[in-house]
Structure 1
Amino acid sequence: MDIKKETVLLDQQVTTKKEAIQLAGQLLVKNDYAQPEYIDSMLERETDLSTYMGNFIAIPHGTDDGRKYINKTGISIVQIPMGVNFSSNNESENIVTIVFGIAGLNGEHLDLLSQISIFCSDVNNVVKLADAQSKEEIINLLKEVNSK
């Protein structure tokens, strides 16, 4: 998982999951991983199926049709220490403190999903990400995924 400082946002305050997904998508676009239309694809995926994964994380990504807007495989990370609710209308609260936006070519998104899920299956790892005070700290924590 190759993470660049330019694709990490710290200490964000958002009020809706739509805002959180847009931030994650904008990082992917700004860093040339995807075209602007990919953000709409990410939002569409969220209306079809929640990207809330439990343990205070969400992993928004585009629909199958949205793949045509991906330039190269990449990941963005948005830290939301106060949390944002990722539930649908009638669900209990699904609070998210870390949003991983992903764009993957040729099925590489499945590998990214797997790596993130394994790391974040330990809620203590998520707490470390949510409490991180620098982009470097987040990147170093996630480098552990590759070294295991």
Structure 2
Amino acid sequence: MTDLVQQAGIKLDATASSPEEAVDICGKLLVELGAITSSYADAMWEREQIFPSAIGMGFAIPHGTDESRAHVIFDQLVFVRLAKPISWADDEVTCVLGIASQGDGHVELLGNLAEMIQDEDKLAILQNSDNPEEIAQLLLGND
């Protein structure tokens, strides 16, 4: 699981004016890391239109459809923090965690994320830290 988040997959102060642009940033990062093909990136937006991935507390977790898992080369998460919040479904989102998973390798991390965003100190790090290593370690549960 230590390779699930790479510093190169953490983008701070990104610019997006819509959920579609934010999902596109995540998809491109995952492609650049070699974790997915562009078909999976496209499926991330397809899935988003079926069921928006905003989860509250300023976070969204876009990912592909079950069928698109065939286009995942290896499990990977990317973290994109937006310079300005965007409206996403009924939420305001500033932090986007893009998920590429062949199976259930990301489930534990998502459970950790749910706990993390309820911890004010950890939430503050995700929302404000300028240190990608600190964010990566926190996401991996190495805080």
Question: Higher mean Cα deviation, 129-138 or 95-104?
Answer: 129-138
Q: Is the 8 A contact 1:55 1:123 kept in 2?
A: no
Higher mean alpha-carbon deviation, 2-11 vs 133-142, is at: 133-142
- Percent identity between the aligned chains? 30
Q: Normalising by structure 1, what TM-score?
A: 0.86
Between the two proteins, the alignment pairs up a number of residues equal to 141
Please, which of 35, 38, 43 is the counterpart of residue 37 of structure 2?
35
C-alpha root-mean-square deviation of aligned residues, in Å? 1.7
Alignment of 1:76-95 (within 5 A): 76-87=78-89, 92=90, 94-95=91-92
Task: Check conservation: 2:109, 2:139, Cα contact below 8 A.
Answer: no
- Unpaired segments ≥5 residues, structure 2: none
Counterpart code for 1:85:
S
Please tell me whether the aligned partners of residues 84 and 97 of structure 1 are also in contact (alpha carbons under 8 angstroms): yes
- 1:142 deviates by 2.5
Match of 2:22 among 1, 17, 20: 20
Residues in 2 aligned to 1:107 and 1:30: alpha-carbon distance in whole angstroms: 22
Structure-to-structure mapping, 1:1-148, within 5 angstroms: 1-2=1-2, 3-87=5-89, 92=90, 94-143=91-140, 145-146=141-142
Which structure features the higher share of strand residues? 2
Letter in 2 for 1:121: Q
1:56 Cα deviation from its structure 2 partner: 0.6
* More deviation, 125-134/97-106: 125-134
The separation in 2 between residues aligned to 1:46 and 1:81, in whole angstroms, is 21
Helix, strand or coil at the partner of 1:5: strand
Unaligned 5+ runs, structure 1: none
Q: Residues of 1 paired with 2:62 and 2:29: CA distance? A: 13
Q: Give the conservation status (yes or no) of the 8 Å contact 1:81–1:130.
A: no
Structure with greater helix percent: 1
Which shows bigger deviation, 19-28 or 104-113? Answer: 104-113
Tell me the TM-score normalised to structure 2 length: 0.88
